Structure 1
């Protein structure tokens, strides 16, 4: 691990964000914690808003502003942004604003929800300058250097910041990692791995399956090998303690079939097979984050997760050769 990455992790984990002038949910006078969404081109903005506004969830948060964004060169972004923007405005009373700076002036915290990871660093810079805590939806960025730079800037400004897939907080995953099956000796995660040409192979959708693997195994992967055939990826990570974690991603289901997601956790006392459920667990963590200002995942783990996915691409380019993660992190840290 590079000295910068270690320093970022240590800072986030040990000192938190006490002493900053960031207004957290339990410190403000407003009856609700006002949230803004940046990038309204994903169904997540509707699902998240519905959950946050549901009185049964008692989130204490309300989405009050949104910046549409949208990426003209990604069809799944530009074809959806208008519809989701209209639904947020008309059904949920969200004010639509012209830019991220205006959004930050109206809210206490920010969700960067753009489906395209490329603009996330630039969005984050504006949010950090406004001193707003921020959750960044997947993918955190479209490159490993951008992920590292986001965390560096967050540390520099003392701004709470994190990112996660909902798979990490699914009920089955929480149960499997609760100690119920003993120590995790290894794991297999599987799921869709659709690609998008402006992102590394696994960043776009395979990130769910990769994050599930890291949730089971924890950080500490040292090298990756990738075997690829048309429509299927098998990636094997070797952890520093000798454990093996296996990622299986599919992009071409058989006719009439859909690609399922799930995991197998091999514990010292039992084996657990589970599947993801919904966004509830992730949203509870997001609310807790805005209440406390403390990210639930160390930056070093998220950085390593993206290095794992980048190493898989490099292994594919090298015909399945083993690729170490540490050199990739060091190179990416020096790139900005």
Structure 2
């Protein structure tokens, strides 16, 4: 049984992941550390709901009692602080999406991994069963991928990164530049479109949507035909948890490496930088700390203010 330590139960993910874990005997939450906006009453409700052994007073205490840490907080600027005690104790850590939200933290992750840290992540959309089924088709049957179009909705980055990761799951690494294409608006809500050029000549377009939940949909054009599917949101956590458990059990798995996860973050950073520059292409390797980043603390404040009770 894989022993998981939960850090900051901000979103619905700890609840959804826990429900998936209840269906088999591969993993369970055993402890929790919480210093985010969920009140003590909800933390106690989470403990009762999934039969946790204890609430820990420090991150170090939680890291010592589990096999892997799950960083669930929605302040992505705080993710690495929360991850460090697990890394320092030689434990792997899963960081929920978005992995990080600025270039400096991307560099920190790269250095931590170079120094031996095991950092897993991040979006369940990357591992969706529909993505797996497409990739399992022989290329001679499905054709070579030329372009991927994807959609996601609720907000620009917290949800938008889902579709960037899903596209990365299809096309692999090699995103070269991103160009902001424009915005459509209606009823106070809006969708923005971005073009991603890959080094190998392939491309992608993704649409974010702010103000309404939108499904994760991919349209994949290949040298032979066009494939189209909508991801089953009811099975996304199951697909992700299966791969994490496979990794922890030493089995073959589909988990992406940190470089691939960070490329998706950099795609989003290049996207917002291109928008700020009026739509000029922004190369991923030309990103700088002076360019726009995503403010995790501000997002967490707004998310917490609007969050309903979960436990």
TM-score (norm 1): 0.77
SS of residue matched to 2:180: strand
Match of 1:172? 130
Which of the numbers 135, 142, 160 marks the counterpart of 2:101? 142
SS of residue matched to 2:197: strand
- 1:163 matched to 2:130: no
Which of the numbers 191, 213, 217 marks the counterpart of 2:152? 191
**Contact kept in structure 2, 1:193 and 1:250, CA below 8 Å:** yes
Shift, 1:330, TM fit: 9.8
Shift, 1:150, TM fit: 2.1
Shift, 1:134, TM fit: 1.0
Tell me how far apart the structure 2 counterparts of residues 252 and 102 of structure 1 sit (CA, whole Å): 39
Shift, 1:193, TM fit: 4.5
Residues paired across the two proteins, number:
278
Which of the numbers 159, 170, 186 marks the counterpart of 1:205? 159
Tell me how far apart the structure 2 counterparts of residues 329 and 163 of structure 1 sit (CA, whole Å): 24
Shift, 1:283, TM fit: 0.5
- 1:268 matched to 2:223: yes
Match of 1:65? 31
Tell me how far apart the structure 2 counterparts of residues 290 and 320 of structure 1 sit (CA, whole Å): 43
Shift, 1:83, TM fit: 5.8
Tell me how far apart the structure 2 counterparts of residues 308 and 86 of structure 1 sit (CA, whole Å): 38
- Residues 331 and 177 (structure 1), Cα distance of their counterparts in 2 relative to 1, 3 Å cut: farther
Shift, 1:84, TM fit: 4.5
**Contact kept in structure 2, 1:118 and 1:142, CA below 8 Å:** yes
Match of 2:238? 280
**Contact kept in structure 2, 1:307 and 1:329, CA below 8 Å:** no
Tell me how far apart the structure 2 counterparts of residues 38 and 151 of structure 1 sit (CA, whole Å): 22
Shift, 1:225, TM fit: 0.4
Which of the numbers 181, 188, 198 marks the counterpart of 1:227? 181
Match of 1:20? none
- Residues 246 and 212 (structure 1), Cα distance of their counterparts in 2 relative to 1, 3 Å cut: same
**Contact kept in structure 1, 2:104 and 2:289, CA below 8 Å:** no
Shift, 1:222, TM fit: 0.9
**Contact kept in structure 2, 1:176 and 1:265, CA below 8 Å:** no
Cα shift readout 1:180-200 (whole Å, capped 9, x = no counterpart): 512211110001051xxxxxx
**Contact kept in structure 1, 2:87 and 2:118, CA below 8 Å:** no
**Contact kept in structure 2, 1:124 and 1:150, CA below 8 Å:** no
SS of residue matched to 1:236: strand
Match of 1:10? none
Q: Higher strand proportion, which one?
A: 2
Cα shift readout 1:69-123 (whole Å, capped 9, x = no counterpart): 31xxxxxxx2x55564233211212121122111112112111111221111111
Tell me how far apart the structure 1 counterparts of residues 108 and 60 of structure 2 sit (CA, whole Å): 20
Match of 2:261? 302
**Contact kept in structure 1, 2:143 and 2:225, CA below 8 Å:** yes
Aligned alpha-carbon RMSD (Å): 2.2
Tell me how far apart the structure 1 counterparts of residues 97 and 12 of structure 2 sit (CA, whole Å): 12
Which of the numbers 92, 104, 125 marks the counterpart of 2:50? 92
Shift, 1:307, TM fit: 1.1
Unaligned runs of 5+ in 2: 292-311
- 1:214 matched to 2:183: no
In the TM superposition, 1:6-25 aligns within 5 A as none
**Contact kept in structure 2, 1:189 and 1:213, CA below 8 Å:** yes
SS of residue matched to 1:261: strand
Unaligned runs of 5+ in 1: 1-31, 71-77, 195-200
Cα shift readout 1:227-269 (whole Å, capped 9, x = no counterpart): 232411100001112222000111134xxxx523211011223
Tell me how far apart the structure 2 counterparts of residues 193 and 312 of structure 1 sit (CA, whole Å): 17
Which of the numbers 175, 197, 203 marks the counterpart of 1:238? 197
